[in-house]
Homo-oligomer: A and B are copies of this chain.
Amino acid sequence: MDQPLLPTDASLAALHWRYATKKFDASKKIPADLWAKFEQALVLSPSSYGLQQYKFVVVTDAALKEKLKPASYGQSQITDCSHLVVFCARTDVTDANVDHYLERICQVRGTDLTHLKEGFGKVIKGDVVHGPRHALIKEWCARQVYIALGQLMFFAALSSVDICPMEGFENDKYDEILGLTAQGYRATVLAAVGHRADDDGAASLPKVRMPAEELLDRR
């Protein structure tokens, strides 16, 4: 077996270190070269079938952040963070979306498109576009962005960068301000990314988790 890339205790230390940052230091910005790595992490997020039916709006413009703040119950993280990531899930998945993905597979792997459409393509479409999952397609797409959120929170912690994940915002207003509806997306969840303020009291609060014996059911 391979050696771990990072000792597991160090991975756990990162998970202990992170917390939902309540107050960012607005003067600390994430350098462009580091942010480029964050974007790579977002692109590398796993998703069901690898279909990636989402996009990530990354907001750094101060005026746009000011516009989004009242749609986020005035929370200061929106304007004080360095980069605001809006996780946008597709509101529908069509045959064309699947075909676009199949074409990408061919491009990367040199697979034969006809063969792929007959096999993998039919499986995906039969499930997601024409099958039982389609009735809940918005939710299925929304679930996938939470994988990306979970991964990004961990990635940030490993990089000693802070994140506040946020569901507390008005999705409709975000969709309107960012013009998402016409593009077929829905603002689903946010991650404010940056660096904690020295006086963020939340940083030193003991982490609360339910006891392991309540959360784990070993069979």
Given A148-B150, A151-B150, A210-B52: A12 touches B39 (CB 8 Å cut-off): no
Q: Is A95 an interface residue (CB 8 A)?
A: no
Bits for A47-81, please: 1 = Cβ < 8 Å to B, else 0.
Answer: 01010101111111100100000000000000000
Which chain B residues lie closer than 8 Å to A43 at the CB level?
A: 209-210, 212, 215-216
Q: Which of A11-66 contact B (CB under 8 A)?
A: 11-18, 20, 28, 34, 37, 39-46, 48, 50, 52, 54-61, 64
Q: Shortest Cβ distance from A141 into chain B, in angstroms? A: 11
Chain A, interface size category, equals: 35 or more
* Inter-subunit contact B146/A217 (CB<8 Å): no
Q: Is A182 an interface residue (CB 8 A)?
A: no
* Inter-subunit contact B208/A160 (CB<8 Å): no
* Inter-subunit contact A52/B215 (CB<8 Å): yes
Given A41-B11, A43-B212, A44-B12: A154 touches B154 (CB 8 Å cut-off): yes
Q: Shortest Cβ distance from A200 into chain B, in angstroms? A: 14
Bits for A164-183, please: 1 = Cβ < 8 Å to B, else 0.
Answer: 01010000000000100000
Closest to A212 in B: B43
Q: Is A8 an interface residue (CB 8 A)?
A: yes
Q: Which residues of A contact B (CB under 8 A)?
A: 1-6, 8-18, 20, 28, 34, 37, 39-46, 48, 50, 52, 54-61, 64, 88, 101, 104-105, 108-109, 136, 139, 142-144, 146-151, 153-155, 157-160, 165, 167, 178, 189, 195, 205-212, 214-219
